[in-house]
Amino acid sequence: MPQKGTFHTTMTDKVRVALCQYKRDNPQLSQKDLIKWLEDNPSIKVSQTTISTILKRLAEILTKSDNETNLNAKCQRIVRYPEMESTLVKWFRANQERQM
């Protein structure tokens, strides 16, 4: 449960990528400037800790924009067993018409 006076905001990867690109284009900006930019543009309130965590992953986040990932997702899930998952999807699609 959040403490009194704190807030919880979830950001999509699209916003994270935009923030990283903005920081890359304007390296002189401080984290406080980036917080202010987020409050003005996408109207998102974040803490300085969130900005710091995102900037630590700057290179990783910028490569997401190049890959074919869903940037509207708030969290990317990594598939542990891709062969099993694709087999399960095929089975599900083949049997979804069947009534139990």
Dump pLDDT digits (tens) for 8-37. 677 878 888 889 999 999 999 999 999 999
Question: Residue 78: its pLDDT value, please?
Answer: 74
Q: How far apart are CA 76 and CA 90, in angstroms?
A: 22
Residue located via tokens 């490569």: 63
Question: Quick check: helix, strand or coil at residue 42?
Answer: coil
> C-alpha distances in angstroms, 37 versus 7, 18, 26, 72, 93?
18, 11, 12, 20, 45
Neighbouring C-beta atoms of residue 56, cutoff 10 Å: 10
pLDDT digit string (tens) for the chain, length 100 residues: 555 655 667 787 888 888 999 999 999 999 999 999 998 887 888 889 989 999 998 888 888 666 555 666 666 667 788 899 889 989 988 888 776 5
Please say whether the beta carbons of 39 and 6 come within 8 A.
no
Backbone angles phi, psi at 92, to 5 degrees: -60, -45
Q: What is the model's pTM?
A: 0.61
* Distance between first and last Cα of the chain: 42
- The CATH class of the 1-70 domain is mainly alpha
> What pLDDT shows up at residue 34?
93
Structure tokens at 97: 């018409």
Q: What is the pLDDT of residue 66?
A: 61
